[in-house]
Amino acid sequence: MENLALIDSFSEFKDDKLIDRVTLMAILEDVFRNALKKKFGSDDNFDIIINPDKGDMEIWRRRVIVADDDLDLENEEITLTEARKIEPDFEIGEEVSEEVKLIDLGRRAILALRQNLISKIHEHDNTNLYKQFKDLIGEIYTAEVHHVRPRVVILVDDEGNEIVLPKEKQIPSDFFRKGDNVRGIIESVELKGNKPQIIMSRTSEKFLEKLFEQEIPEVFDGLIMVKNVVRIPGEKAKVAVDSYDDRIDPVGACVGMKGSRIHGIVRELGNENIDVINYTTNQQLYITRALSPAKVSSIKINEENKRADVFLKLEEVSKAIGRGGHNIKLAGQLTGYELDVIREGNIAEEEDDVELTEFSDEIDAWVIEEFAKIGLDTARSILKQDVNDLVRRTDLEEETILDVMRILNEEFNS
């Protein structure tokens, strides 16, 4: 019972969740054999008998009896006198088996053994944890906020595993409090020393793709395929979907009646604007769909340079570019083409048009920049817009926009 009492005293691993009793006993044997090698020089003549059900173990030392005058005793040998203390009728040449109590190893050896055992258990746990989360890379995972720091949020799952959500992997509008449940994908698992660091991401395109799988039954069942996903986290995303079944409208199935199906995904991503489009191998049609809501007049593709000239009417240019240039940027990423916008319009008006930068002495540079972000870089392109629409699409006040229009109108009416 002495061995059992010592094993039970190692409370750090007794209730370990990641290790079964059989594995624990195998680690125990390995640690004890190392301890025996250190004390006796070899463990070849030791038998370790483990009972995983009871959590007990016995250590037996086998030695051959030699004459008392044999002064150069090996680890595997015992003198006749010492042997007869165990059993009085032993003779030279016979084998003696004697149980070794852990307490016989000495206090220092037991402390070292205990530390070595704890280290081995932690190493086993870390290896298991690493393997477990390696298999979860690219999958959605939920954990609870444990601690919020300026550059990282520390999460803890139901098993007590620590997961890291760095600031750069958070959606800009994300705001977390202790106790909040957070969803993201397991993006990577890195070994920091011997301990695995589990990284979660909410900005990855894979997260949006997996949300489609989770929230839309036809995607989960494989009836609809997500062909490509691009996004500017928290701002805008484009998702190309396709179906082998002509009876299924992939866009309609993903969006749902009045956006009912995609609404939960949009809310999860901080009201990220998600455009869902039908995938096609017709590159001209694909680019046209990717530039929605703008109506494209025509497209000229240069396959060698992976560039495309997109011809649009003047009133469609700002829609194609989108706020902050997000729409055209994502359309290019989705289709794999560098998209160049070519304006179509009244030639006389274009020749008579004036670059907005020409008004830099009357209009502040940051105001000109705001218009340029939505593709409006000439006087006439702004004057053709609706004021309320410009207020919605820019960060400018109505008063500022009206003042700009007044300045521009004076140019053409003077």
DSSP assignment string, 158-184: TT--EEEEEGGGS-TT----TT-EEEE
Instruction: Give 140's strand partners.
Output: 185
Give the pLDDT confidence score for residue 227 in this predicted structure: 95
Contact 29/57 with Cβ under 8 angstroms?
yes
Between vectors from CA 388 to CA 313 and to CA 386, what angle results, nearest 5°?
A: 30
pLDDT, residue 230, reads 96
Question: What are the tens digits of pLDDT across the range 391-402?
Answer: 877 888 999 999
d(CA 363, CA 368) in angstroms, rounded, equals 7
Residue 1 is predicted with a pLDDT of 39
**How many alpha carbons lie under 13 Å from residue 174 in its C-beta half-sphere?**
27
Residues in the chain, pLDDT under 70: 1-22, 51-56, 71, 103-104, 106, 109-110, 345-352, 414
Residue 205: both structure tokens together: 């395109």
DSSP assignment letter at 109: H
Q: What kind and span of H or E run contains 224? A: strand 224-232
Q: What is the pLDDT of residue 104?
A: 67
Instruction: Identify which of 124, 115, 42 has the alpha carbon closest to the alpha carbon of residue 75.
Output: 42
Question: Could you tell me if 152 and 165 are in contact, meaning their C-beta atoms sit under 8 angstroms apart?
Answer: yes
pLDDT attached to residue 11: 41
CA distance 209 to 201: 13
Coil, helix or strand at residue 337: coil
User: What is the pLDDT at residue 16?
Assistant: 52
Q: Between helices 21-40 and 107-134, what is the axis angle to 10°?
A: 140
Give the residue from 51, 54, 65 showing the smallest Cα distance to 98: 65
DSSP H or E segment with residue 212: helix 205-215
pTM of the model: 0.64
> What integer pLDDT is reported at residue 31 of this predicted model?
79
3-state secondary structure 35-82: HHHHHHCCCCCEEEEEECCCCEEEEEEEEEEECCCCCCCCCCEEEHHH
Give the residues across from 226 on adjacent strands. 241
Alpha-carbon gap, residue 294 to 248, rounded angstroms: 25
Phi, psi of 99 (to 5 degrees): -75, 135
